[in-house]
Structure 1
Amino acid sequence: MNTAEAAQASPTVNRSRSTAGAFFLTAFLLSGCATGGGDNWNSTAVGDDESVGRVDLRSVLLVTSGEEQPARVLGTLENDGDQPIDITISDSDEDTTLTIPAQGRVGFDTVETVLRTAGDAPGARTTLTASTSEGDVSLLVPVVDGTLDPYRPYLPE
């Protein structure tokens, strides 16, 4: 290839490299690697994920209309054990206990669980504790309100 041919090929090569670089940067950012994975607040499921013993807590969050207002727990509890297990969800001033069937799940979208207060205003994170006979774990859960349509049906009355 002579110098004139190389000069004409150069913009195409640079454009291809730029396109490939942009593709890999986008894939990296979308994978959550740039934000530490679990702290990506732009993902669809914004709740906290933790495990305690045989129970997996998935996408746990609170829905409320205000800081001192009742708050509904949302998320899913999954028991991968061969026996039912009791789990207690608590905040600073109350707790509630549920039984998860063996190899089963409990979805808070269908099992209404409401705390007296959210503990923090919508937009903040608050701490919940999940306890079983196998231990306990702290969850730092987001507090959301009915501003976003998917959460509006779950606002406590």
Structure 2
Amino acid sequence: MKFAASKATVRKAAVAGLAAAALLGATGCSAINEQATSLHYAPSDGIVAEVGDAELRNIALVTSAPDTESRYIGTLSSASGEPLEVSITVDGTQTRFSVPGDESLILEDPANEQVIPSAGGSPGEIVDATVEVDGESETVGITILDGTLEEYREYVPGGADPSADDHLYETPAAEEGGH
């Protein structure tokens, strides 16, 4: 006895196979790639870290050039709600911060300004920093920024170089709304 599939049955099987392949192709990326919205990252130019009960948010160093004075920016907070003493050592210079327990220490505030002799690197680099809190120590990378971006110019020790953004220019297409 011979079984033969009808043309309609073959077509239905082919359509079902194509639909399954299309469905697998549309959803297959999430099977092998991490979902981007689940990644934890620093949403700005500085770093995010936790050392002991200290929370470091958007911590960076702002300078005008390598081997010149650098200023800390960012926010330090206490996760426990208790006052903390935090020290950050960069390029051999230790800086102590007294973090209040009930509020954040915002380093951009003039009252909290901390300047060190050198960041130990050039703008655009990340340097190793040792963060110590209550006997707990961790090495983190801290970003070095300069005054190229307007939002950091006021924090450059000694003032930002006005020619820092001379290499940036507008194209006619950008002015007209083109691509």
**TM-score of the pair, normalised by structure 2:** 0.64
Q: Which residues in structure 2 correspond to 1:1-150 (within 5 Å)?
A: 31=36, 37-38=40-41, 43=43, 45-110=44-109, 111-150=112-151
> Contact between 1:69 and 1:116, CA under 8 Å: does it hold in 2?
yes
Structure 2: gaps spanning 5 or more residues: 1-21, 159-179
Q: Which one has the bigger strand percentage?
A: 1
Deviations 1:9-28 (A, max 9, x none): xxxxxxxx9xxx7xx99xx9
CA offset at residue 130 of structure 1? 1.2
Alpha-carbon RMSD across the aligned residues, in angstroms, is 3.0
Q: Secondary structure at the match of 1:137?
A: strand
Structure 1: gaps spanning 5 or more residues: 1-16
Cα 1:61/1:32, change in 2 over 3 Å: farther
Deviations 1:92-139 (A, max 9, x none): 221111111113210110110111001111111111111111401222
> Contact between 2:53 and 2:133, CA under 8 Å: does it hold in 1?
no
Higher Cα Rg, which structure:
2
In structure 2, distance between residues paired with 1:81 and 1:29: 32
Q: Secondary structure at the match of 2:154?
A: helix
Paired positions, count: 137
Cα 1:32/1:153, change in 2 over 3 Å: farther
> Contact between 2:54 and 2:79, CA under 8 Å: does it hold in 1?
yes
> Contact between 1:62 and 1:143, CA under 8 Å: does it hold in 2?
yes
